[in-house]
Amino acid sequence: MVIAGDFKNGVTFEMDGQVYQVIEFQHVKPGKGAAFVRTKLRNVISGGVTETTFSPTDKWPEAIIERKDMQYSYDDGDLYHFMDTETWEETLVAHDKVPDNFRFVKEEMMCKIISYKGNVFSVEPPTFVELQVTKTDPGFAGNTATNTLKPATLETGAEIRVPLFIDNGEMIRIDTRTGEYLERVKTK
């Protein structure tokens, strides 16, 4: 059981059929009246954030969120297929369960499958990926002084903005959290 008086950042618990994670908490002892705990909670499944106050003695069952590394296999049009590289078991994930930054993931990349009680509710792609630029305007050698960007399509079909000197066929590193170009990858 999780007790409100023992809250710490990152604690997950089940309340009213939903799973919440403590983002912020503050123990308040007013001069008059009973003490309380002011919290900011994130609904782990929907992502919504709420502010709530609790009595320090309130209790809820602890929620164990499982995060498992799995390899992305393929998309059959309806479901994404992931494989556990240790047991060879396959996990199917609906399109609405993956975040927008999944567009940077290509087949055979490792991702974290996030589930609660066996139900997958999200997929976490790698933080940094290296992808090939498949379509962009021709690059301009020596044009590195300005911060001007141009559109580029990557091998996964995702579109981002890259510096003017990037050319078709080049490998680049991308931060999947922001969708931003980081650097050119040196090929050997």
Q: Which domains does the chain have, with CATH numbers?
A: 2-60 (2.30.30.30), 65-124 (2.40.50.140), 128-184 (2.40.50.140)
For residues 59 and 102, give the distance between their C-alpha atoms in angstroms, rounded to a whole number: 36
- In 3D space, the residue among 73, 80, 20 whose CA is nearest the CA of residue 45 turns out to be 20
- Token pair of 166, please? 């990037």
Look at residue 119 in the predicted model and tell me its pLDDT. Answer: 85
Q: Is the per-residue pLDDT at 22 higher than 80?
A: yes
pTM of the model: 0.74
Helix/strand/coil percent split, the chain, to 5: 5, 50, 40
Query: Among positive and negative, which fits the CA dihedral 47, 48, 49, 52?
Result: negative
pLDDT digits (tens, 9 = 90+) for 95-107: 888 888 999 999 9
Look at residue 188 in the predicted model and tell me its pLDDT. Answer: 63
pLDDT digits (tens, 9 = 90+) for 51-86: 999 999 999 999 888 989 999 999 998 899 999 999
Q: Which residues of 63-92 are buried (b: 16+ CB within 10 A; e: fewer)?
A: beeeeeebebeeeeeeebbbbeeeeeeebe
